[in-house]
Chains A and B, each alone.
Chain A
Amino acid sequence: MIILDQVDKVFPGQNIPAVKQVSFQVDEGNICVFVGPSGCGKTTILRMINRLIEPTSGDIYIKGQKVSDKEVNPDQLRREIGYVIQQIGLLPHRTVEQNVALVPRLLKWPEDKIKPRVRELIDMVGLDPDEVTHKYPFQLSGGMMQRVGVARALAADPPIMLMDEPFGAVDPIVRGRLQDEFLRLQKEMKKTICFVTHDINEAIKMGDHIVIMNKGELVQHGTPMEILSEPANDFVKDLIGVDREMKLLDLTRSSEVVNRDKAVPDQVRENDCFISALDPVQRALETMMKKDSDIVGVRDGEEEIGIICWDDLKKLINKLSGDA
């Protein structure tokens, strides 16, 4: 869907390239997260995809079409790519309705199609259309503005979205909620998304695929599981942080670890020490600690399908982290 082929970017007046020989591919319907410290080139890559910045060398393809081709008009290109930035950038002199309708109006949609679309979108991002459509951005909270920003990016139903720290400006609680809601939306929308963050936890949570960048170079890319279980070097290890094992547990579903052959002991049932098969294994660990038990039962819906023991977790951690 999106392919970068040996892309370089050297900003004028600088010796060190901002992006060095980066190649990778984002598959259709995936969220690809670029993560790395400030100045690692992740935002530059994003801005090259919609040609806010032109690469110094190398090629970028969207659906097989080279974006730097002469016949591609950058303005037209951007209208077909949703764009969300951390500072949101809502037009302060336009209402929420006008902001969300921005791209459809640029694309000259008929007005009777735009109105219902705007309401649908505002509802979709979890706001009340009756309440907010006629408000101005300054009358909204940070979280609400960010939702409007997402609605605006989605307005013309672009197949591709570029999101630059879209949830970076809100507090951690709101951020978590926005992330959850966005993942829920993405399950239905199946957009191809490039997502930039400096927060490895957000990357692991949001990404189908993670690209780790440092000093303009691509350090490692892979699924969150691959990155966590086989960090390529010390930089990646540092980025992941000391709680790598816990993050791995968070990425593994209980159904993958559950011991289906053993019956659930009565003691577990008395303490109501159960988790769902869909829960991450980390939940098993939490439940063990909370209930002071070495065993948790696993349920799939109402059905008891097996147990997870403390020893299973230890083995899992050793296996995943490769330290055994």
Chain B
Amino acid sequence: MDFEMERFISALIDRSPPHALVHLQLVLIPVIVAFLIAFPVAVLLTRRRFMKYTDRVMTIFNMGQTIPPLAIIAIFFPFLGLGREPALFALTIYALLPIARNTLAGLKGVPQEVKEAARGVGMSELEMLTRVEIPLSMPVVMAGIKISVVLTSGTAALGALVGGGGMGAVIFAGIDFFRAELIVAGTLIIGAIAIVLDRILSLIDSILTPPHMKV
């Protein structure tokens, strides 16, 4: 395979941007949906009434990450068919675990004496959750979201295999037509997407992190 600079730049500038936008959707939508599912579920699992379900629920999340996204698409193929939707669905399931696991860890890491004092001054369970537990666990939760974002950025390339589009389309075209330029350009842009999203999340993180936890 030879490498021509002109083709490479054309792949990067002309061919990739529409795919990059699709790819961005393939990352953001699953992570946001995964957050909306995993975060409340993990919060519930730290409540006394639901604690006993922790192991069972986490097993389901673990399975979501161990089963390859392509297998999930295959399993749900009869219902969802091919295209954007099954790709989003598979990626969402894939993104659940880090967020759920870190939310659990973050909430459990809130110092006991702080919770004790908060209860002692008469905070209700909801007030404790929103004013003490969630703010104090935010750095760990954000770390989970970042892991999900980076994982999903890479995995989303597989979305192209089922007609979901994204940067995977560029890479697989490169593989099919023996064009190294396309493969490198696709990979670079996926990396860039992951890095940029990670930076943006770090910024949000630094706003949400309580002052005493900042390094």
Contacts and interface: CB of A to CB of B under 8 A. Distances in A.
B204 interface: no
Contact of B114 (A91, A103, A138): A91
B120 A89 contact: yes
Interface in A105-144: 106, 136-138
Contacts of B82: none
Contact of B118 (A80, A91, A136, A153): A91
A85 B116 contact: yes
B8 to A, nearest CB: 48
Summarize B's interface: helix, strand, loop or mixed: helix
Given A91-B132, A92-B210, A106 B121 contact: yes
Nearest to A153: B121
Contacts of B119: 52, 78
For chain A, which range describes its interface: under 10, 10 to 19, 20 to 34, or 35 or more residues? 20 to 34
A295 interface: no
Contacts of B122: 75-80, 103, 106
A78 B113 contact: no
A78 B121 contact: yes
B38 interface: no
A1 B213 CA distance: 42
A88 B118 CA distance: 10
A89 B116 contact: yes
Contacts of B210: 92-93
A103 B121 contact: yes
B154 interface: no
B142 to A, nearest CB: 14
A85 B113 contact: yes
A152 B122 CA distance: 12
A76 B122 CA distance: 6
A282 interface: no
Interface of B: 111, 113-124, 127, 131-132, 135-136, 210-213
Given A78-B119, A92-B213, A136-B211, 10 more contacts: A52-B119, A75-B124, A78-B120, A79-B122, A85-B113, A88-B117, A89-B114, A90-B117, A93-B212, A152-B121
15 contacts: A50-B120, A75-B122, A78-B120, A83-B117, A89-B111, A89-B117, A91-B131, A91-B132, A92-B114, A93-B135, A93-B210, A103-B122, A106-B122, A106-B127, A136-B211
Interface of A: 50, 52, 75-80, 83, 85, 87-93, 102-103, 106, 136-138, 149, 152-153, 162
